[in-house]
Structure 1
């Protein structure tokens, strides 16, 4: 990209930039290169970076705030604008980028047109805004009740998306896991799906590396993550053969934990998981380590619904996943564990159903979700999402 020298920038360039900032703070949506107004720079603040300015412009576009009346909405809009402009970019990436057309001294970041800033850079700012909102919201309380003395004793391992949701559901109904000599219930899935669920749930707990990097880490070591390795998970709880159930048929899972039915599990989409991964990294810097799990659990329950599918294992990892699944089947067979379902269901999906394109979430979809959450505070209002459940008898 060609930069503009101080001589060619013109004496009114800085004033024009401050005028554009004021325009955006007032809900404007005009792009930088199309802006022709000016303002007196003598009383203006230091100019924010191009990432913050472009994110604010897109937030204005999403909210349609330029057409909204003044009053409380105007004050809320101004407060949000000031937050966006003052928010630093998190994670790896470029420092605040200067605007193209302003005086540049030939060193530092190259000036850019804000409209050309990619979704990755905008997400670095949006994730900080959402992390601060989440910390201000606080963790939703965990519903518990007295444990029923006649409950079935069990310990859940395996698919973390399923086990985390089921564990919370059962604890709220007086059926917490644990107790003397519990059955170890290992929830199995096709291994490619189990890996995707393991990464997704980790994004909503402590965060993780990006999806493609995370997969490559385990493939290069020819190992499975702890929660995706069913045999190792059972052994960690010292499960003895008569007290172990490997469940591959989820329709038969309720009976293994002593109930008639369980709620449907909500699997986060790729955009939700990636946004949570970015937010978790910032939340970890905002609160003590013991507070982050509760906040991320709250985010998982409150994050708006998305039509984006969950992440899938790319085709280039198919051979490793298939070999790992075969190794898991051999391990379960040798251990002699009871199987509720069919061990063949642990095999990965056919290659045709795996992703052959770029692995991981699409940054633009993640940015769209982030903008929706910043503009619409509904996810922070009221209580967490509730799911209709059948009454246990």
Structure 2
């Protein structure tokens, strides 16, 4: 493009950015069909990126009631997408350059590009949360109640632990009752993946399976038979209980029955999309505030802004399904011949071959959830900012 055309292009991009700041949901192509306003000369200021512009448009489309939307748009437009991806992608223009990165319609950018931009925005919105002191929950403690220790499926352990502490039970102690919580192997792996990512890993779902299959070994935290056997050897097998169910409410009911306390409903936590989004945010947020502060923010804030996804569970990647079935059968066999109590059918851990199962998170689904999470994070941010 000649200098005059470059200036016209830059003016239209900036005009579209201003239009988006006002909450417009027009695509770039639709905007080009509107009359051009006088050129907006802002010197050599860099143009907003295509992914950032499209992210602003989609945020407006996802939630028309976001407060101070122009401020959110400014934050998005000035936040670079972290990590590897497309570089300086131009928008389509009648006299596009013949060299360099080919132009792409912003609304046709790969979901991965918009997720990169979302990760950078979320890191900026969450970083100030590190300065807030975490609340100190106060729970009753009834010393005559039996102590307990929970091991196994990380998410289920967290849900059941919270419920038991609220009932006044004490965790640990000299005569603790040991519970190893489990269920279907693919759900165990999903919970392990979620826990690893919350701890700071940038781990992909497929890589978790590939590593386990290559080593022919389940991750230690969810190797139920090995965990239970170790505790039984170390302590009294009569104090070890393996609980196998496919939902947390049933798990709590069986644990509560052993401990002599009432059970109750527990809301299952689906976080496949949130986990895949968080693995992208982790590196940027960790660099911004340090890993210790990142963990505090993730533990305290992330569940609040990322909850509520409606998604089907993930299955083992097809390349590792045979290994998953064999590993599940070995675990079921070990649990069936154990000398400690097993509540539930050990066969529940064995994966099955089913049609229509998602074998990896869909980036488009993750992006749709990311728009919700960014909106919630922005609302929290504006509540603290004057």
Same fold (TM over 0.5): yes
Kindly indicate whether the alpha-carbon contact (under 8 Å) linking 1:271 and 1:366 is maintained by their aligned counterparts in 2: yes
Give me the whole-angstrom Cα distance separating, in 2, the residues matched to 1:197 and 1:347.
Answer: 16
1:106-117 equivalences under 5 Å are 106-107=99-100, 109-117=101-109
TM-aligned CA deviation for residue 281 of structure 1: 3.4
Query: 1:241 corresponds to which residue?
Result: 237
Given the alignment, which residue of 148, 152, 164 partners 2:146? 152
TM-score, normalised to structure 2's length? 0.83
Deviation at 1:246, TM superposition (A): 0.9
Is the alpha carbon distance of 1:144 and 1:256 closer, same or farther for their aligned partners in structure 2, counting shifts above 3 Å? farther
State how far apart, in whole Å, the 2-side matches of 1:263 and 1:329 are: 27
Alignment of 1:20-31 (within 5 A): 20-31=16-27
Q: CA deviation at 1:368?
A: 1.3
SS at match of 2:99: coil
* Matching of residue 164 in structure 1 with residue 166 in structure 2: no
Q: Identify the residue that residue 191 of structure 2 maps to in structure 1.
A: 197
User: Residues 118, 142 of structure 1: CA spacing in aligned structure 2 closer, same or farther, 3 A cutoff?
Assistant: farther
User: Does the 8 Å CA contact 1:144/1:172 hold for their aligned counterparts?
Assistant: no
Aligned pairs for 1:57-206 (under 5 A) are: 57-64=57-64, 73=67, 76-101=68-93, 104=97, 106-107=99-100, 109-137=101-129, 138=132, 140-145=134-139, 147-206=141-200
Counterpart Cα distance in 2 of 1:176 and 1:128: 41
Cα pair distance change 1:14/1:325, threshold 3 Å: same
1:324-344 C-alpha deviation (Å, 9 max, x unpaired): 122223433555222122222
Contact 2:159 2:266 in 1 (8 A): no
> If the length of structure 1 is used for normalisation, what is the TM-score?
0.82
Distance 2:294 2:260 in 1: 31
Q: What's the C-alpha RMSD, in Å, of the aligned pairs? A: 3.1
Contact 1:139 1:295 in 2 (8 A): no
Q: What is the aligned counterpart of 1:318 among 318, 321, 327?
A: 321
- Per the alignment, do residues 266 and 379 of structure 1 end up closer, same or farther by CA in structure 2, a change over 3 Å counting? farther
Whether the 8 Å CA contact 2:186–2:314 is kept in 1: the answer is no
The Cα of 1:354 is off from its aligned counterpart by 6.7
Give the SS at the match of 1:12. helix
Number of residue equivalences: 367
3-state DSSP of counterpart to 2:150? strand
Post-superposition offset of 1:185:
0.7
Decide whether aligned partners of structure 1 residues 378 and 90 sit closer, same or farther in structure 2, where only a CA change above 3 A counts.
Answer: closer
Residue 283 in structure 1 maps to residue 285 in structure 2:
yes
Question: What residue is the counterpart of 1:389 in the other structure?
Answer: none
8 Å CA contact 2:112, 2:363 repeated in 1: yes
Question: Secondary structure of the equivalent of 2:183?
Answer: coil
User: Where does residue 254 of structure 1 map in the other structure?
Assistant: 256
Whole-angstrom CA distance in 2 between matches of 1:159 and 1:276: 19
Structure 1 residue 345, shift from structure 2 partner: 2.5
For the residue of structure 2 that corresponds to 1:351, the secondary structure is coil
Residue 329 of structure 1 is matched in structure 2 by 332
Specify the alignment match of 1:385 in structure 2. none
Alignment partner of 2:179: what SS? strand
- CA–CA separation in structure 2 for the residues paired with 1:43 and 1:91: 29
Unaligned runs of 5+ in 2: 246-250, 382-386
**CA distance, structure 2, for counterparts of residue 346 and residue 11 of structure 1:** 63
Q: 1:16 aligns with which of 12, 15, 23?
A: 12
Judge conservation of contact 1:89–1:96 (CA < 8 Å) in 2.
no
CA distance in 2, matches of 1:318, 1:115: 35
Q: CA deviation at 1:53?
A: 0.9
The answer as to whether partners of 1:269 and 1:309 remain within 8 angstroms in 2 is: no
CA displacement 1:217-264 (0-9 Å, x = unmatched)? 211111111221113334665444232111114241222345221441
Match of 2:248 in 1: none
Question: Is 2:343 the counterpart of 1:343?
Answer: no
Contact 1:187 1:247 in 2 (8 A): yes
Q: Check whether the contact 1:153–1:182 (CA below 8 A) recurs between aligned residues.
A: yes
- Distance in 1 of aligned mates of 2:20 and 2:356: 43
CA contact (8 A) 1:325 1:346 kept: yes
User: What residue is the counterpart of 1:384 in the other structure?
Assistant: none
CA contact (8 A) 1:315 1:354 kept: no
Cα distance in structure 2, aligned partners of 1:353 and 1:257? 40
> SS state of the match for residue 29, structure 1?
coil
SS in 1 for 2:171: coil
